[in-house]
């Protein structure tokens, strides 16, 4: 790792490359500022819940973007994404939303996707939480 502190994606050559657009890990040096979101569900501010996973995931990522912005961060500061879907068949729709949200990032975040049995309301099909970090500007 370089002497200059920076956020670094980790991709050891001794393990299989990631299955999609994410990093196996992210190194965050000491002194970084952090933001942790709660899990965001696919519901709009006016209480609408789309039927399809892609639309719900897009709402989840939009909410994460808004939370990061509230702290003065943006999505490129994301170091980890944890996501949960209720059906293995919904993975491609979620992954398309994640890949769209991550498009153009110079450093991809670590990412985990878990299949779960359900959420607090039956119409929810996906939940996303992000962790972001950045080094102090100066």
Distance CA 128, CA 98 (A): 10
Q: What is the pLDDT averaged over residues 12-25?
A: 92
Q: Is pLDDT of 5 > 80?
A: no
Please give the sequence-ordered ranges of beta strands (E in DSSP) within 1-138, or none if there are none. 8-10, 25-27, 33-36, 40-41, 78-85, 110-115, 126-134
pLDDT at position 1 is: 38
Q: Is pLDDT of 136 > 90?
A: no
What would the pLDDT profile of 56-115 be if each residue is shown by its tens digit? 999 999 999 999 999 999 999 999 999 999 999 999 999 999 999 999 999 999 999 999
In terms of pTM, does the model score above 0.75? Answer: yes
What domains lie within the chain, and their CATH numbers?
36-134 (3.30.1330.40)
Cβ atoms of 54 and 42 closer than 8 Å: no
Residue 98 in 3-state DSSP? Answer: helix
pLDDT at position 74 is: 96
């Amino acid at each position: 790792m370089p002497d200059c502190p920076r956020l670094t994606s980790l991709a050891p050559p001794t393990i299989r490359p990631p299955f999609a657009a994410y990093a196996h890990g992210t190194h965050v040096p000491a002194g970084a500022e952090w933001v942790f979101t709660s899990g965001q569900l696919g519901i709009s501010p006016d209480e609408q819940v789309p039927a399809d996973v892609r639309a719900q995931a897009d709402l989840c990522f939009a909410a994460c973007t808004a939370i990061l912005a509230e702290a003065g961060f943006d999505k490129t500061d994301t170091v980890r994404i944890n996501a949960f879907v209720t059906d293995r068949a919904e993975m491609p729709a979620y992954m398309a939303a994640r890949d769209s949200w991550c498009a153009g990032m110079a450093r991809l975040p670590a990412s985990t996707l878990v299949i779960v049995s359900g959420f607090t309301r039956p119409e929810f099909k996906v939940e996303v939480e992000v962790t972001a970090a950045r080094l102090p500007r100066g």
